[in-house]
Amino acid sequence: MSEIKKIVEDVFYRDDPNETEPEILIKINNKIVLTENSFITISGLPKSRKTTFMQIFLSSAMSGKNNFGIEVNIKSTDKIVIVDTEQSKYSFNKQHKFLKKMLGVEKMPKRVSAFLFRRYEPEVVLQSIIFLCEKIKPRLLFIDSLTDLAYNPNDPLEAKKISQFLKTLTDTYNIGVVTLLHLNKSNNFTVGHLGAAVDRAAESVLKVEIDKETQISTLSPNMMRSDGLFEPVSIAFNETANIYEKCETPTKEDAYKNERPKKFSMDEFTDTDLKSRIEITFEHQKEYTYKPFVEALKKTFGRGDTIIKQTVIPYLQFKKLIHTKNGIYTN
């Protein structure tokens, strides 16, 4: 009980009139994506260029420049740690060459430290990340990919453990964390209970998709806590110049030239995913009137007014995930 007493005293909320807003670390097209003491997830299918977008984040962080609408705001003395769990040394070296080319340098800045954990078990990687935060004290931590920190992404207890690990890590060291996460090929949702758990705790959930017809990759918002949805960022590889360039985001008509677009359906969402989105919607506000509720759901579902009003809200009421009384919506 003495240990519990210490914990309770530590977490007891004390009103602080001098409390300042957290520092903004990442913005995309002028929308807040990541602040200190938080983490984000970037999900996508294999070969959709998730890692390429991570390299663009890194390039902005090191150059202090706006790259394709992506702005990473840290000091020139702040340190960055990259933890890679997937790539071979050869593949990672290719990514490093790409990053150095974007920066116009021959050697990576000393404040950037990269570690390849491909051959190690998840528990070793988790403990190593804590060690690196203690020793290096980075301002930003990149993890590629989060999936490899779990033995079984479908284990709810392990998923909760990793989600809690990220929350504790950001809270303890007051850093920003960018994580990459795989999507299931079958339903385009983040992998298993792990995906649902970290999406629920993340400040922003982003998605990378590649248009097979045009080979254009697009980074778009899925869920945003701290700001409205940003305009998607699209890139394509210029083989002549051997660089990635910003381009127009493919329209739905471009993406499905030979297919009829799928009609939006709430059946696309699992019960776990729906509950996660509802929890995020009501996390900082316990009740809504209709118009603010529509705006909140637009952020968490990434859809427009019509779909939210005519499809999402009626479905959530039918599933008894939300309740309404006298024009007030509650969880």
Peptide bond into 145 cis (omega under 30): yes
Residue 175 has pLDDT above 70, yes or no: yes
Burial 216-246 (b: 16+ CB within 10 A, else e): bbbbbbbbbbbbebbebbbbbeeeeeeebee
The CATH number assigned to the domain holding 158 equals 3.40.50.300
Residue 189 has pLDDT above 60, yes or no: no
Quick check: is 59 in a domain? yes
Q: 185 and 309 share a domain?
A: no
Among 31-45, 112-126, 205-219, 246-260, name the one with the lowest average pLDDT.
246-260
Q: 294 and 236 share a domain?
A: no
Neighbours of 135 (CB within 10 A): 10
Q: What range defines the domain where residue 308 resides? A: 266-330
Tokens of 307: 């779909």
**Among candidate residues 200, 232, 255, the one where a domain is terminated:** 255
- Over the stretch 68-94, which tens digit does the pLDDT of each residue have? 999 999 999 999 999 999 888 898 888
Supply angle C-alpha 190, 172, 201, rounded to 5. 25
Quick check: is 157 in a domain? yes
Q: 90 and 61 share a domain?
A: yes
Region 169-188: what's the mean pLDDT?
Answer: 83
Residue 258 has pLDDT above 50, yes or no: no
Quick check: is 119 in a domain? yes
**pLDDT for the residue 149:** 92
Quick check: is 153 in a domain? yes
Among 50-54, 72-76, 278-282, name the one with the lowest average pLDDT.
278-282
pLDDT interval class at 305 (50, 70, 90)? confident
**Among candidate residues 217, 236, 255, the one where a domain is terminated:** 255
| CA atoms of 34 and 317, how far apart (whole Å) | 32
Domain count, the chain: 2
Q: Which one-letter amino acid corresponds to residue 178?
A: V
Helix (H) or strand (E) holding 250: none
pLDDT interval class at 31 (50, 70, 90)? very high
Residue 142 has pLDDT above 80, yes or no: yes
Highest mean pLDDT among 130-134, 148-152, 185-189: 130-134
Residue 197 has pLDDT above 70, yes or no: yes
Phi, psi of 135 (to 5 degrees): -80, -45
Neighbours of 269 (CB within 10 A): 18
Count of alpha carbons within 13 Å of 174, Cβ hemisphere only? 4
**pLDDT for the residue 252:** 58
